[in-house]
Each structure stands twice: as structure tokens, then as C-alpha cells.
Amino acid sequence: MPHRHATASDVARLAGVSQSAVSRAFTPGASIARETRARVEDAARELGYRPNAIARSLTTRRSRIIGVAAAYLQNHFYPEVMEALSRGLHARGYHLLLFTPDAGRDADPQLQEVLSWRVDGLILASTTVSSALASECRAAGIPVLLFNRTSLGTDVSSVTGENLRGGRLIAEFLVAGGHRRLAFLAGIEASSTSRDRERGFAGWLVEHDLPPPLREVGLYDFDAACAAARRLLARPDRPDAIFCGNDHMAIAVAEVARHEFGLRIPRDLSLVGFDDTAPARWPSFSLTSFAQPLQPMVDAAVALICEMIENPAAPTRHEVVHGELVVRGSARIPPEGCVSLGDRLVWRPPRDEA
Amino acid sequence: MPHRHATASDVARLAGVSQSAVSRAFTPGASIARETRARVEDAARELGYRPNAIARSLTTRRSRIIGVAAAYLQNHFYPEVMEALSRGLHARGYHLLLFTPDAGRDADPQLQEVLSWRVDGLILASTTVSSALASECRAAGIPVLLFNRTSLGTDVSSVTGENLRGGRLIAEFLVAGGHRRLAFLAGIEASSTSRDRERGFAGWLVEHDLPPPLREVGLYDFDAACAAARRLLARPDRPDAIFCGNDHMAIAVAEVARHEFGLRIPRDLSLVGFDDTAPARWPSFSLTSFAQPLQPMVDAAVALICEMIENPAAPTRHEVVHGELVVRGSARIPPEGCVSLGDRLVWRPPRDEA
DNA sequence: TCCTGGCTTGAATGCGCATGCAAGATTCAC
DNA sequence: GTGAATCTTGCATGCGCATTCAAGCCAGGA
């Protein structure tokens, strides 16, 4: 019953041309007479013909598919990334093969399958690859791009936000706000984002002869972050400001602080997040957060992966996309340094005119 | 520089067998001697061979790819659906080609491209197809499944939650809680979910000789829902209970009610949502919401699309997955009818023992 | 008129794999 | 020990398309 799909040969027969002509009619820039193309297009329309992307990929050896990994879609940040990525890649003629690795470890197992599709490139959001697989990809000429992660031992290109600077800035911001009992809520410890944010945060404090922050691990998970918040807030030397590794965890901490400990934010506790996701803007949270600008990051990723596809021999690159500390109501606001930027309030260290 | 991928012939040469043997070694159930398979596997390992999925698809005429559309990823519900779908399809050996149609209209334009990949099936979440394309798909033998939507004029299979019953139940719940000035916040008016929820809600009221609810449109969009909430709450005959077409909008309404109108929930205003997404469980919202059980819905969708692939001639089906009204703190709780179910409190109409 | 060069076109080929077919190898029953 | 049944195997072919190559066509210059 299911009608077979029309093939180029079917169209050729109807149009009275060769199969090659049909192929040329659907290949931009191919050598074909205007009139012939029109005849082919008519016939194609009549038969409902669309070139078979699979067959095309087989001969051209380019699939025009990008494998995209996204674990951790619970974090509002990533769905938005997916959507933007999808649009960006589409605009360049690529399709998007989605897979969801298990959170917290590298994407190897699922990656293997995706590689059998001879994807033109690989974008890994919130995951990493093993070095072994990364070099296998390099040998096979398949560009790999880490999004919002970098890889330690392995030389893989990446697009990230300013994790290090963000961490430093937040330390300075909280200290400028008068806080001295600081804490950091780490995400997944193996993740470069969590490490860099912490390194920036703790590093700035050390450099300024301030005690290192308290520390708990929230695994970038809501429930784990709640548990970490309970431990942190139950301490006799309860911190008066917490920098949370991302907004998702910051919201968890806010909930626990308010509803379980009866704390007022920011009077009793300042909270700063990272990512500036949609819920951060909801008045209930009004979260001060370091913004990773989504669209620029995605644009950079799309541009970079396309360059890598065109020139697989190019050296790896690490793009860092500039962000801002967006000031809202969840953390005490220092007396100076706030600047309005567009419709947002951002914070710049007062000594710094930049 | 990029090493070419090893092919079945390369492996065959190394293993001293024919290319057919290699193919059989990678085809479960094929007729091949245990020892031959071992030899092939060794050679394959040595060369880093993986069967080329594109070539395989070309010959088998099955791509083992499912096209998945997801607009509206802002709503927490859909990222979770994507993740579950990805896992479910993966478990059955399918891959997932993602595309993101423009919200609020049918997925036709992008669908055309996806069809050129000869996908084995199509799952559309929060979108629909035009009847024209739907019948084209049927003619081509490509199963189409709507997820969380149904299609009016067109005969396309679907998996939905109990939109109609949910709407009725919520009406009954709010009336049992003593409310009389009810309002409904619609999503996208063309969407079947919004229509069905409203039909259930308003229908129950009419049947019980109660006045129809006030009505505003929030387009399933946060900002639009905020604006709708402002209009609703500024009325002289302000409603004392609002049923919001989904949680995403309910949160918008909660924010406006609290932070712009100074209302207390549920003392001044009861709020009920739909979907029971993660934020509904956050204490700040503690949203009473009709749960569309994610995993059962996704399981049903995966099972259904697989059946449709195996039997393309089967008649269309409309699966409705049973849900519950989860009672939390955002709406006044009727004196009776609450039942605890697992770790949740759900509401059953008191007269009804089911 | 003849030749040159630019456009178009079709035939032929191959991308990498699965599979029908027939031949060869092996096993089993008798 | 023999014939039949069962397993394995390689050969050949085709999936639908892009692309190379050579041939055909036409316009323009000599």
C-alpha cells in the first residue's frame, strides 16, 4: 500500500531527460540549461519528488548532520541552547541528531552510535568525551566541539562563558557588598565549568587575603543542591552569601533557605547564580546571576563548527564569550559599581572603567 | 590527512573473507559461523570499523531515524519529554532527528526537509501538521504521531493527557473549594490541548448551572500570560480562582498576582495549573496542577510509533493517558476528596469512589 | 567555410552495504 | 558408506544519487 517514493530516475523518465539532469537540477550551481531545469522541476512536482538525503550523503560523503549531545535538560539553560542551536544549524543547512548521554560522565557510548551516521561534526553540551574517542574523531576528521565545557587532558575545541572571570567578579561583588562568610556550591566536580567558577571565586578571595569560602557539592542537581543547602545553612557559622554553580542550584538554595530556614533573601542571605536563565528573572527569585549570553555563545558554536568542518586540519580553538554580572535582588547590592546596560543592571568593579 | 573510514571491504580483506561475511557478522541473526564472526570482529576492531549507517539505510530502506519536532521548549514540560523520548527511542534502536518548528503554527516547512531523510516515523510535540502534509505522509507510509496535541480535521494518531477530564475535575475542585468567580487562561487558541481543557472546565460549570468563567488568552507564553493576568486581576469583578492552561502560565500569573497586585495565594486567589512540571513542585509556587504523567505518556508514544512503523496500514489511534489532579498549596483545598497517592496528594470527587 | 571554446547533456561509474542465489562444506540418519 | 538435509559462504546485484568523461551543440572569429 505505501507508495514508494519517487526517485530521480522516475522524474527523469517523466521529464524526458537523464537521471544526471535531474540531479543537476537539484544541485545549486550545476551546469544545466534553464529550460531543462524547469522541465525537471515540473516533473518533480508532479511526482512529489524530493532528493533522498541518505543516498545523497552516501555519494557526497557529507551527511550535513551534526550530532548534538545534551544531558541535563533539567537546567533551563540547555533547552534554550538546543533551540538556538537547532535554528542556527538549520540556517546553515545542517540537521541535528540528538542524543542524551548519562549525566556526569562522558558521552562515549552513545557517541559511538552517532559516529556510525558519519556526522559532519559533533557538539557536546554539558558533557565531554574521553581522550580516546576524541583522538579517534580527530583521526577520522570529525570536528568535535564542547559547549559550556572544556576538557582537561584532551585537546578539543570549546565554546564557554567567562567562568573564571565570572567567579572572580562574583567574589569581588559579594565582598564589596560587605559579606565575609562566603560559600561556594559546586556542581559536578569533574566539570570544567564548576572548577573554573570555583577557581575564579576562591582565587580572588585568596589573592585578597580573605579566608577561603565554605564549600558544598550540589552536582548541578536540584535535590542534591537542596541537601547541600541544608548542610550549609545548618552550620553554626552559617554563611551569609552563597555563590551557586548555576541558577538551577541557586533556586534550590533559595527555596530551602526561605521555606525551611525562614531566611529572607538578601537580608539574611545573599545568593548569586550563574547562567541567567529564565527563572532567574522571575520576581520570586530575582536572582543576581552571571549571564552567559546564550545567543552569542550559540552563534560562536555554530560558526566554529562550520569552520572546523571546512578545514578539519585547523588547530583547536577555545572561544570564551563575554558575559556580565546581572544585578537583581537576591544579593546585597554594593554601594557602587552598578551600571545599567540596556534593560539590565550589571555590575562592574568600581576601580575599573572598562 | 583525515584517515578515511574503514569499509566492510577493508575488513573483509584483512579477515580473509568476503564483504558479505562482514556484513553478516554485523547483522544479528544472520547465517554466519561462530568462528568467522570472531575473525571479522577482530579485523574490525583492528581497523576501527563501524558499519556505515547511511549506506545501511540506503539498502535496507529503513533509516531507523525518527524525526522529532519540539517547539516551545521554554515550557519545562517539553525538555523533559525530549529527554525521555530520546532514551525510549534509543532503547529500541532509533535515533532522533530534532527540529524546532516555529511556535504556534504547523511544522510543515521544516518537515519537508526531515522527510528527505526518509525517517521511519515522525513525532510532533506541541505542533501539528497541515492535513495536506499529513496525507502525504500517509501515502508515503510514514507514521505521524502527535504528542500532547490532536488534530482537528486530520486523522493523525496522537498521545495526550486527559485534557477534557482534567478541565472538568479542576472546575469541580475549585467549586468544591468554595470559589464562584472563576477564570480560565487559555494557551494558544488553535491548540487542541487548550481547547479541550477549556471545554472540560467551562462545560462542567455550565452543566452545574454556574456562570461561565472569565477568559483571557496567554498564548502559552510567559510574557503574554503576565499581561493576561494583569487584565484579569485589574477587573472590578476580579476572579478568586484561575485555571491556567499550563504550569508555565500559572507561574506567570502567580508572579504577577503576588508581586504586582500584592495578593496572597491561595487566600486571595487560587491557582491551578496543568502538566505538573518541576517548578510546580518548588515550594515558592507549590502549584496545584493536573499531572500529565510524563513517563507513561512517552512510553505510550514510543510504543505506538513503533507499532505504526511495523504496521503502517493500521488505523489511527488516539491514546489518552490517565492523570491525576495533584493537590498542593496554590489553591484552596476542598473539605473532602483529598487522597494521598504515593508521595502525592491527589483529589478525587467525593461522590466518586474510583 | 572551418575551427575554437564555452555550454549542456547522457552514459557510466561508484559511494558502502544487504541480500537472493547457488555452490560448497558439513552433518546426520540410515 | 551414501544420500539428504542443514549450514556457510562468495558472487553479483541494486539501493538513489553525484560526478567524471566524452560527445554534442552553438556562437563567434579567422
Helix (H) or strand (E) holding A13: helix A8-15
Residue A233 counted as domain residue = yes
How big is chain A by its Cα radius of gyration, in Å?
25
Question: Does residue A102 share a domain with residue A33?
Answer: no
> Which one is predicted more confidently, B84 or A135?
B84
Read off the pLDDT band of B3 (50, 70, 90). low
A82: which chain B residues are within 8 Å (Cβ-Cβ)?
A: 73, 79, 82, 98, 100
Q: Which of A65, A118, A140 sits opposite B3 (nearest CB)?
A: A140
Could you tell me which of A119, A89, B166 has the C-alpha nearest to residue A110? A119
Residue B311, CB, strand D, below 7 Å: no
How distant is the Cα of A116 from the closest Cα of chain B, in angstroms? 5
Q: What is the pLDDT of residue A163?
A: 96
- All cell numbers assigned to A298: 550559540
Q: What is the pLDDT of residue A354?
A: 41
Which residue range(s) make up the domain with B42?
8-51
Compute the average pLDDT of residues B37-46: 92
- Distance between CA atoms of residues A224 and A207, nearest Å: 30
Question: Does residue A282 share a domain with residue A209?
Answer: yes
How distant is the Cα of A260 from the closest Cα of chain B, in angstroms? 10
Transcribe A97-111 into DSSP letters: EEE-PPTTS--HHHH
- All cell numbers assigned to B57: 539505510
**Beta strand residue intervals within chain A, DSSP E:** 65-70, 95-99, 121-125, 144-147, 157-161, 182-186, 214-217, 241-244, 270-275, 288-291, 318-321, 324-326, 338-341, 344-347
Read off the pLDDT band of B74 (50, 70, 90). confident
Which of A266-280, B130-144, B269-283 shows the lowest mean pLDDT across its residues? Answer: B130-144
- What is the SS3 assignment for B187? coil
How distant is the Cα of A75 from the closest Cα of chain B, in angstroms? 9
A83: which chain B residues are within 8 Å (Cβ-Cβ)?
A: 73, 100
CB spacing of A53 vs B116 below 8 angstroms: yes
Read off the pLDDT band of B354 (50, 70, 90). very low
Residue that the C-alpha cell 559461523 belongs to: B33
**Window A48-87, strand D contacts by Cβ < 7 Å:** 49, 51-52, 55-56, 58-60
Compute the average pLDDT of residues B203-225: 95
Residue A299 counted as domain residue = yes
| B77-91 helix and B294-310 helix, angle to the nearest 10 degrees | 40
- All cell numbers assigned to A319: 572561544
- Distance between CA atoms of residues B192 and B199, nearest Å: 10
CB spacing of A79 vs B83 below 8 angstroms: no
Domain tally, chain A: 3
Residue A353 counted as domain residue = no
CB spacing of A97 vs B100 below 8 angstroms: no
- All cell numbers assigned to B108: 510543515
Question: Does residue A247 share a domain with residue A177?
Answer: yes
Question: Does residue B231 share a domain with residue B132?
Answer: no
Nucleotide closest to B24 measured between CA and C1'? C18
Read off the pLDDT band of A1 (50, 70, 90). very low
Q: What is the pLDDT of residue B92?
A: 93
Residues B232/B226, Cβ–Cβ less than 8 Å: no
CB spacing of B50 vs A80 below 8 angstroms: no
Question: Does residue B335 share a domain with residue B316?
Answer: no
Tally Cβ neighbours within 10 Å of residue B79.
25
Q: Of B138, B248, B284, B286, which to mutate for an interface test with A (greatest number of A Cβ within 10 Å)?
A: B284
Q: What is the pLDDT of residues B121-138, one digit of tens each?
A: 999 998 878 878 888 888
Is pLDDT at A102 greater than 70 in this prediction? yes
Is pLDDT at A29 greater than 90 in this prediction? no
Total number of residues shown for chain A: 354
Residue B154 counted as domain residue = no
> Closest chain B residue to A283 measured between Cα atoms?
B255
Q: What is the pLDDT of residue B352?
A: 53
Q: How far is CA A62 from the centre of its chain?
A: 25
Q: What is the pLDDT of residue B31?
A: 83
Tally Cβ neighbours within 10 Å of residue A55.
16
Which of A126-130, B92-96, B324-328 shows the lowest mean pLDDT across its residues? Answer: A126-130
Residue B110, CB, strand C, below 7 Å: no
What's the mean pLDDT when you consider all of chain B? 92
- What is the SS3 assignment for A95? strand
Q: How far from A193 is each of A128, A188, B354, CA to CA, in Å?
A: 12, 9, 50
Q: Which of A87, A140, A284 sits opposite B5 (nearest CB)?
A: A140
Residues A247/A273, Cβ–Cβ less than 8 Å: yes
Question: Does residue B198 share a domain with residue B340?
Answer: yes
Residues A293/A307, Cβ–Cβ less than 8 Å: no
Is pLDDT at A245 greater than 90 in this prediction? yes
Question: Does residue B224 share a domain with residue B179?
Answer: yes
Question: Does residue B132 share a domain with residue B101?
Answer: yes
Residues B126/B74, Cβ–Cβ less than 8 Å: no
Residue B155 counted as domain residue = no
Question: Does residue A185 share a domain with residue A117?
Answer: no
Residue A153 counted as domain residue = no
Question: Does residue A280 share a domain with residue A203?
Answer: yes
How distant is the Cα of A70 from the closest Cα of chain B, in angstroms? 9
Q: How far is the CA of B59 from the C1' of C17 (A)?
A: 7
Q: What is the pLDDT of residues A198-210, one digit of tens each?
A: 999 999 999 999 9
Is pLDDT at B99 greater than 50 in this prediction? yes
> Closest chain A residue to B114 measured between Cα atoms?
A95
Which of A99-103, A148-152, A301-305, B268-272 shows the lowest mean pLDDT across its residues? Answer: A99-103
Q: How far from B71 is each of B91, B147, B243, B350, CA to CA, in Å?
A: 24, 12, 23, 38
Across the A:B interface, residue pairs with CB atoms under 8 Å apart total 149
Q: How far is CA A332 from the centre of its chain?
A: 29
Residue A47 counted as domain residue = yes
Q: What is the pLDDT of residues A35-51, one digit of tens each?
A: 899 999 999 999 999 99
Compute the average pLDDT of residues A280-289: 96
> Which one is predicted more confidently, B261 or B351?
B261
Is pLDDT at B57 greater than 60 in this prediction? yes
Q: What is the pLDDT of residues A184-235, one digit of tens each?
A: 999 999 899 999 999 999 999 999 999 999 999 999 999 999 999 999 999 9
Residues B297/B321, Cβ–Cβ less than 8 Å: yes
- Distance between CA atoms of residues A279 and A287, nearest Å: 8
Indicate the residue type of B330. Answer: S
> Which one is predicted more confidently, A29 or B104?
A29
Question: Does residue A251 share a domain with residue A202?
Answer: yes
Residue B266 preceded by cis peptide, ω within 30 = yes
Transcribe A276-323 into DSSP letters: --HHHHSTTT--EEEE--HHHHHHHHHHHHHHHHH-TTSPP-EEEE--
- Distance between CA atoms of residues B144 and B163, nearest Å: 21
- All cell numbers assigned to A237: 557559622
Indicate the residue type of A92. Answer: R
Is pLDDT at B26 greater than 50 in this prediction? yes
Compute the average pLDDT of residues A166-182: 96
Question: Does residue B331 share a domain with residue B206?
Answer: yes
Q: How far is the CA of B132 from the C1' of C16 (A)?
A: 36
Q: Which of A3, A80, A87 sits opposite B139 (nearest CB)?
A: A3
Q: What is the pLDDT of residue A350?
A: 81
CB spacing of A90 vs B98 below 8 angstroms: no
Q: What is the CATH number of the domain that holds A144?
A: 3.40.50.2300
- Distance between CA atoms of residues B45 and B135, nearest Å: 45
Compute the average pLDDT of residues B176-197: 94
Q: What is the pLDDT of residue B29?
A: 82
Residue B1 counted as domain residue = no
Q: Check residue A161 and give left, alpha or beta (phi > 0: left; psi -120 to 50: alpha).
A: beta
